[in-house]
Amino acid sequence: MFAYAGVVALFAQLPVGVRRCAYRLAYAVLTVYWFLTRPHTHGVKCVLTDGDRVLLVRHTYGRPEWELPGGVIKSGEDPRDAARREMHEELGVAIDSWASLGEVVGRARHRRDTLHCFHAELDHPAFTLDLGELYTARWYPRTALPDDLGQYVHPVLSRLPAHQL
């Protein structure tokens, strides 16, 4: 864990343009890897809400669609810990109380994905973007989401309890 934290800290100090290029290169390499190996991946998707609004992000790599924030679960990492880590890395927010929304399974870009989904209501919805990984983040009313959504946004949002829709 210490070695990972050190690498993340060093990477975060690189200029934004360099980090964006690194993310794009890594994504291109992973796309080839996924095509060749058809892996089963495990990740997290996090639904962050502020009342009737949901936070969506656009990444600096991959398709330019609005997505729920999230990321990969490291080997041996608890999904809840992965959600906590990813939200801290991508958005600079510390969230300790997550409500599980279960799992969403699907296929994307030659991967077989299992996504562990979590929800947190933010009392103070301020965040600090990792501009190397994210172009932008925006709050949208759940009844007025943009048209260009990633494939997992609706299946994950549909898991919110009815009283939160």
CA 132, CA 114: separation in Å to the nearest integer?
A: 25
pLDDT tens sequence across 33-88 = 888 889 898 999 999 999 999 999 999 988 889 999 999 999 999 999 999 999 99
Is it the case that residue 1 has pLDDT exceeding 80?
Answer: no
Q: Over 70: is that where the pLDDT of 164 sits?
A: no
Dmax (CA) for the chain in angstroms is 44
Q: Indicate the domain borders of the chain.
A: 2-160
Q: Cα separation of 113 and 105, whole Å?
A: 6
Tokens in use for 88?
A: 């801290």
Mean pLDDT score of the chain: 88
- Asked whether the beta carbons of 44 and 79 are under 8 A apart, the reply is yes
Query: How far does CA 148 lie from the centroid of its chain?
Result: 16
pLDDT value for 8: 66
CATH (residue range 2-160)? 3.90.79.10
